[in-house]
Structure 1
Amino acid sequence: MPSSLSHSIRLALCMALVFLQLSGTSGSLLNCHKMCICASNIVSCSKMNLTTIPTALPKYTAVLDLSYNDITRLRAEWTTYKLPQLHNLLLSHNGLHFISSEAFIYVKQLRYLDLSSNNLRQLDEVIFEPLEHLEVLLLYNNHISQIDRTAFSGLNSLQKLYLSQNKVSRFPLELVKDKSRLDNLILLDVSSNQIKVLPTQELQTLPAWIKNGLYFHNNPLLCDCELYSLLAHWYIRKLNSAQDFRDDYTCVMPGQEKKVERVFELNNHMNCSSFKEANEEAYLEQTLTLPCDTKHRNMSKTWVLPGNVVVSPGSNQTAKVLKDGSLQISPIREEDSGNYTCYAISESFNETLYIKVTVHNFTLNGNGETLNTAYTTLVGCLASVVLVLIYLYLTPCRCFCCPGHSKSKSHHEDSIHSSMLSATPTHEDLATKAELNRHVAFIDPKDLQGQNGKVNPNGDEDLDEEALQGKDQRKKSVAESISSVFSDTPIVV
């Protein structure tokens, strides 16, 4: 019996050793001497052909590197106890295609998570919600085509999100705008995806410190002038997202050929107008707020008014610096026009912004109509002066002073020769107008044959009964020639 017992014990020990070896090969138990490298609080198990995450990880582990293995599923039980010190978890290049919604409940202190270069196809809702301290999330080079709108909810500390080289077809605007935005996000990379349309107007209204880290190059964007204006503005502001990848921003031209052009050359291909920074305009008594829209957040800002006057706190100036660094001028005056300068300073970066302000010399309500009336009155006065000068210096001499003309003839001239002021002249009007000292010379109707406004289109001159009786020799005018003064062609002598 003792010999058989000892034999059973030896057999059990051998099986245990074999099991340990097999389990060590499969990654079930942590072995810092064979499958991983343990250096203080760093555990590196990279390139060890592991199919599961080793168990019995030290609770003091701060960095866990499991990259370049064959771990295809990240289950909830990959760790059964809390790892409160773990802040870096690397799982890239594993063929990972499944992540449990409870995979991160025991590692809530993570600040850096690398899931890049795997086979992830979708991001479910609230998958990263426990990671409230996460700052960097790497998801590039996967096959992600679907992202739930709440997939990144709870990541209140997230600063950098890399989603490039996936199959994303919609720009995740909710991450940078409105109530669902991530307040601390300063970098969002969705380059090399399948995004065709951008919310250009919404992106243009974002603060510069957000736009500075928005990367969307190498997408099949549709070409239009709004896209060109957006990137041209960012390039002028020297934003990193536009300057670093200037030649990689391309778009697809409309048409059947689907020709690809560089966005910064659309002003040549689509006649897009060149972008210019818009200056600020204001009216008297308004409140004007000038933003100091810097590329970096939380910078110390100083404003200088026209005339190199520094805005100091507590002064009696109408301009004051608000908490967010913008400058408020209230009420604005005409002398507030000029160039304003904002100096932004941080520990590692300095930036200077210039804004030109033009103040109109009237209030926004009411005085605009007064200005138009004054302008109209001025134009009317100038026209009156011109007419008076014409009357004084360009009118012909009176007929009684002209040689070869009798005074009586001047009182009996035809309506065509005596007045150009009446639209429908009558014989009674002629008698009255003959008393006025205004005379305009006209070409004789006989000389106007073949021109518009001639006396008789047929070239015949018919005399009325009075002319035949010898009283007056008035010509019988055609109705069309006397219906309006503008039907004749006056020559001012």
Structure 2
Amino acid sequence: PATMSSPAAADTVWPRAAKLFLLLLQLCAPRASPQPHRCPNTCICTSDLLSCSRQTLRWVPQALPPTTTTLDLSHNALTQLHDHWLAALPHLEALHISHNQIRDLSPRAFHNASFLRHLDMSSNHLQAVERHYFEALVSLEELLLYDNHIKRVDENAFAKLSDLRKVYLSWNNLTTFPFHAVQGLGIHKLRTLDLSSNSLSSIPVEVLAALPENVGNGLYLHNNPIRCSCQLYLMLQRWNQRGFSSVKDFSEEHTCKVSDNVPRSLIKFLKHRDMFENCSASTEDAHLSHLEVVVGQPVLLACNSSNSSLPHAATTSMWITPRQEPIKHPGNSNRSLEVYPNGSLRITAAKPW
């Protein structure tokens, strides 16, 4: 005869079957993938490149993808970088922050960026290069700081950057530079130190002349009002003869200032090297005098070099035109400017600058 299971047995079987069914569903269901890293709305993201350029950003976007190796924040309106802001980007190698409005850097702005190799902070408003600015960037190879407002570089600003190969500081307001600290720039790796187009008035020639060839070849000093001296001329002439790019490629842009007291007395002294053919004697500045003249009339500017303390045979009188052209005896080609043997200058017809 047929038998029927008791209600108590059925009550035991069904809960077990339900649990087994739920367990099977969990095992068979596809596992949820991790949430993808979202790209900020104002940026363009690729596998490892993040571009947030030209978005008028006033602050750095949040939640940047941690896979980023290159970050472009150029051409925005950033005024500061907060401490540890790169902590979420452990693989960052290149950072572009040019054309912003950054005036200075906090002590820990670049902490957590030990893999960074390329940093472009050109065309900002930096006033100086302080010691703490970049000391955490121990892997840095290229540093672009041109076209800022930099007036001073701390002598230890690059002391910890032993891998540094290229430093660009042109088009700033530097009047001095700690050249003796160049020895701390990983001197065997340094290939470019661009100090052109600043306001350097003097350089320690004896220090620079002793630098290794790789440093001299990449030390750019053109377009600076450096005081003329035979030591400066002979050093640059020697570099030019050795084919150093820093001199050879910019020979017409190497200027020196004849006198600190005379405005617009710059001369392109490598272009007019014949003016320094007897470069072994010292130079003397003529005393300034003021003279009122009539436009179009002849003018005689007296300069009696016979009163100089230098021997007459070693004395060369030279005048610098407003176009930075040197004029010496007997004068220019069309004789509109005549230089007499005693150093006096005759201008055939005075012209305004």
TM-score, length of structure 2 as denominator length: 0.65
Greater CA radius of gyration, 1 or 2? Answer: 1
Q: Classify 1:50/1:200 alpha carbon distance in 2 versus 1 (closer, same or farther; 3 Å).
A: same
* 1:142 matches 2:148: yes
Task: Identify the residue that residue 237 of structure 2 maps to in structure 1.
Answer: 232
Q: Of residues 122, 130, 138 in structure 2, which corresponds to 1:132?
A: 138
Deviations 1:408-438 (A, max 9, x none): xxxxxxxxxxxxxxxxxxxxxxxxxxxxxxx
Q: Shift in Å at residue 78 of structure 1? A: 2.6
Deviations 1:61-91 (A, max 9, x none): 0000000001011111434x34221000110
Task: Identify the residue that residue 259 of structure 2 maps to in structure 1.
Answer: 254
* 1:160 matches 2:130: no
Q: Shift in Å at residue 267 of structure 1? A: 4.2
Structure number with higher helix proportion = 1
Deviations 1:179-209 (A, max 9, x none): x343321110011111111111121111111
Q: Of residues 85, 88, 98 in structure 1, which corresponds to 2:94?
A: 88
Q: Percent identity?
A: 40
Note the residue ranges of structure 2 that are not aligned, 5 or more in a row: 1-36, 281-353
Q: Of residues 64, 87, 98 in structure 1, which corresponds to 2:104?
A: 98
Partners of 1:117 and 1:272 lie apart in 2 by 42
Alignment of 1:93-492 (within 5 A): 93-177=99-183, 180-183=184-187, 184-254=189-259, 256-258=261-263, 259-265=265-271, 267-273=273-279
Task: Identify the residue that residue 302 of structure 1 maps to in structure 2.
Answer: none
Partners of 2:251 and 2:212 lie apart in 1 by 20
Q: Classify 1:77/1:201 alpha carbon distance in 2 versus 1 (closer, same or farther; 3 Å).
A: closer
SS of residue in 2 equivalent to 1:43: strand
Partners of 2:52 and 2:193 lie apart in 1 by 30
Identify the structure with bigger relative contact order (alpha carbons < 8 Å, sequence gap 6+).
2
Task: Identify the residue that residue 64 of structure 1 maps to in structure 2.
Answer: 71
SS of residue in 2 equivalent to 1:106: coil
Q: Shift in Å at residue 116 of structure 1? A: 0.3
Q: Classify 1:260/1:122 alpha carbon distance in 2 versus 1 (closer, same or farther; 3 Å).
A: same
Partners of 1:181 and 1:68 lie apart in 2 by 29
Q: Shift in Å at residue 34 of structure 1? A: 3.4
Q: Shift in Å at residue 170 of structure 1? A: 1.2
Q: Of residues 50, 55, 58 in structure 1, which corresponds to 2:57?
A: 50
Partners of 1:133 and 1:45 lie apart in 2 by 24
* 1:35 matches 2:42: yes
Deviations 1:385-422 (A, max 9, x none): xxxxxxxxxxxxxxxxxxxxxxxxxxxxxxxxxxxxxx
Deviations 1:316-350 (A, max 9, x none): xxxxxxxxxxxxxxxxxxxxxxxxxxxxxxxxxxx
Q: Classify 1:255/1:134 alpha carbon distance in 2 versus 1 (closer, same or farther; 3 Å).
A: closer
Deviations 1:150-189 (A, max 9, x none): 1112111110000011111113313423xx3433211100
Deviations 1:356-405 (A, max 9, x none): xxxxxxxxxxxxxxxxxxxxxxxxxxxxxxxxxxxxxxxxxxxxxxxxxx
SS of residue in 2 equivalent to 1:99: coil
**Contact residue 211 and residue 239 of structure 1 kept, 8 A:** yes
Partners of 2:181 and 2:191 lie apart in 1 by 11
Partners of 2:259 and 2:64 lie apart in 1 by 57
Partners of 2:167 and 2:278 lie apart in 1 by 32
Task: Identify the residue that residue 32 of structure 2 maps to in structure 1.
Answer: none
**Contact residue 227 and residue 263 of structure 1 kept, 8 A:** no
Deviations 1:101-153 (A, max 9, x none): 10111111100000000000012223211111000000000000022111112
SS of residue in 2 equivalent to 1:73: coil
**Contact residue 175 and residue 182 of structure 1 kept, 8 A:** no
**Contact residue 164 and residue 185 of structure 2 kept, 8 A:** no
**Contact residue 127 and residue 148 of structure 2 kept, 8 A:** yes
SS of residue in 2 equivalent to 1:161: strand
RMSD: 1.9
Partners of 1:33 and 1:209 lie apart in 2 by 43
Task: Identify the residue that residue 20 of structure 2 maps to in structure 1.
Answer: none
SS of residue in 1 equivalent to 2:108: coil
Partners of 1:93 and 1:129 lie apart in 2 by 23
Q: Classify 1:266/1:198 alpha carbon distance in 2 versus 1 (closer, same or farther; 3 Å).
A: farther
The count of residues paired between Structure 1 and Structure 2 equals: 242
Partners of 1:47 and 1:93 lie apart in 2 by 10
Partners of 2:219 and 2:254 lie apart in 1 by 12
Alignment of 1:8-27 (within 5 A): none
